[in-house]
């Protein structure tokens, strides 16, 4: 283990990418970066991270922001539940800890949205605590390094990975050690065509020694994406430059807290579903009987086929879950990439 640690740290000192969250030890900034990086590519995260911290530079600034402002900064990044949990966690930091991220691991783990990985990243990088991390990249490195041949996601595999990570992290620079593991998985120990000859720990890698690198880690069984048919309604009021669009705030887990179109789904959709979507949103309008557009949109576990209907002269009573917006306002509230796509397909002009 000491040899592996030393080689990883030496390699990291010369090979680490210059990323903005690596220029700080601020636990709040590290927390933001780690939440954004969950299931999202580094190059996508960088501009979001920079804009987010420019608008919400401290825990208190984020805690005092309304949810629309927070979600508007997340718009397009996906997995919006992350943003809501981050917002809730930071509010608790302000109320319970005076705006200071707690150094104690148990206190960190008690915050909304902070699991073992996020807590370990904050603890090791910001506070120099000997706390392990295991994400997708670290999983791949450790599965190959120790030749772990049980499926990813199985409890035995998860326990083994965290045990191995916990044995590696003790020593100098635990935060850099964890980041070295993540960096190695992102740039060298990649899922396909890993660059084993450039790997600083190839000599210790059991998968490399047994010519099993491409076979590890053993993937979890994946379900085929679920096919979902939806009817969505772009309900407008006014014309030309005066047009406004009605949106509803969803509390479903997929787009929770975001503003979106009235929408209804079942195995096959038609005009009656669009009318029902309007009724459930409590909007009265003149509905075009034929779809204005048909949009396909792929999510991680779902493949959406959406018939987009237009409705005009739309009226309703504004509330916390129903509002009309000038299209120019939409950049200041949280809407999903899907909603942007549907609006672009059906809004006049």
**Residue 34 is among the residues annotated as catalytic for this protein:** yes
Give the CATH number for residue 6.
1.10.340.30
82 with 158, same domain: the answer is yes
297 with 159, same domain: the answer is no
Domain count, the chain: 2
186 with 233, same domain: the answer is no
pLDDT given at position 250: 78
Integer Cα distance of 252 and 240 in angstroms: 32
207 with 138, same domain: the answer is yes
14 with 81, same domain: the answer is yes
Mean pLDDT of 310-318: 96
Integer Cα distance of 237 and 156 in angstroms: 57
pLDDT given at position 253: 55
What residues contact residue 304 under an 8 Å CB cut-off, 6+ apart? 228, 230, 295, 296, 297, 298, 338
Is 220 among the domain residues?
no
Rounded to two decimals, the pTM is 0.87
Mean pLDDT of 315-319: 95
Integer Cα distance of 102 and 108 in angstroms: 6
Tokens 């306002």 belong to residue: 329
186 with 246, same domain: the answer is no
What number of other Cβ atoms are within 10 A of residue 7's Cβ?
17
Domain boundary among 215, 240, 275: 215
164 with 301, same domain: the answer is no
Give the CATH number for residue 278.
3.90.79.10
Residue 108 phi/psi, 5-degree rounding, is -60, -45
185-194, 199-208, 298-307: the lowest-pLDDT one: 298-307
Integer Cα distance of 332 and 334 in angstroms: 7
Cβ atoms of residues 306 and 277 within 8 Å? no
Domain boundary among 191, 215, 239: 215
248 with 170, same domain: the answer is no
Q: Is the pLDDT of residue 205 over 90?
A: yes
Mean pLDDT of 110-119: 97
Task: Write out pLDDT tens, residues 130-187.
Answer: 999 999 999 999 999 999 999 999 999 999 999 999 999 999 999 999 999 999 999 9
Is 306 among the domain residues?
yes
Question: Exactly one of 34, 131, 164, 183 is catalytic; which is it?
Answer: 34
Integer Cα distance of 170 and 174 in angstroms: 6
201 with 330, same domain: the answer is no
* Secondary structure of residue 21 in the 3-state scheme: helix
181 with 307, same domain: the answer is no
pLDDT given at position 254: 64
Is 221 among the domain residues?
no
292 with 268, same domain: the answer is yes
Domain boundary among 215, 245, 274: 215
Is 73 among the domain residues?
yes
The H or E element containing residue 295 is: strand 293-298
Expressed as residue numbers, the domain containing 184 is 2-215
245 with 208, same domain: the answer is no
Is 39 among the domain residues?
yes
């Amino acid at each position: 283990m000491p040899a592996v640690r030393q080689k990883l740290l030496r390699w990291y000192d010369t090979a680490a990418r210059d990323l903005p969250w690596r220029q700080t030890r601020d636990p709040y900034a590290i927390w933001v970066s780690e939440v954004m990086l969950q299931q999202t590519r580094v190059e996508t995260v960088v501009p979001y991270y920079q804009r987010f911290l420019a608008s919400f530079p401290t825990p208190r600034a984020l805690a005092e922001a309304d949810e629309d402002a927070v979600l508007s900064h997340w718009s397009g990044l996906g997995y919006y539940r992350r943003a809501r949990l981050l917002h809730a966690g930071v509010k608790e930091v302000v109320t319970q800890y005076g705006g200071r991220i707690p150094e104690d691991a148990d206190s960190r783990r008690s915050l909304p949205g902070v699991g073992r990985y996020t807590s370990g990243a904050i603890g090791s990088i910001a506070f120099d605590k000997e706390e392990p991390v295991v994400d997708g990249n670290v999983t791949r490195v450790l599965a190959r390094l120790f030749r772990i041949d049980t499926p990813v996601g199985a409890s035995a595999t998860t326990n083994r990975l965290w045990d191995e990570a916990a044995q590696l992290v003790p020593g100098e620079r635990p935060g850099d050690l964890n980041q070295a593991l993540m960096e190695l998985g992102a740039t060298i120990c990649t899922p396909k065509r890993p660059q084993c000859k450039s790997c600083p720990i190839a000599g210790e890698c059991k998968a490399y020694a047994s010519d099993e690198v491409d076979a590890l880690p053993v993937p979890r069984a994946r379900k085929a994406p679920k096919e979902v048919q939806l009817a969505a309604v772009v309900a407008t009021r006014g014309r030309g430059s005066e047009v406004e669009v009605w949106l509803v705030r969803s509390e479903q887990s997929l787009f929770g807290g975001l503003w979106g179109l009235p929408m209804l789904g079942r195995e096959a959709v038609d005009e009656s579903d669009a009318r029902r979507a309007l009724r459930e949103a409590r909007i009265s309008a003149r509905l075009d009987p034929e779809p204005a557009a048909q949009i396909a949109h792929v999510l991680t576990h779902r493949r959406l086929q959406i018939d987009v209907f237009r409705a005009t002269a739309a009226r309703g009573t504004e509330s916390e879950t129903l509002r009309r917006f000038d299209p120019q306002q939409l950049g200041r509230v949280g809407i999903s990439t899907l909603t942007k796509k549907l609006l672009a397909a059906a809004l006049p002009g």
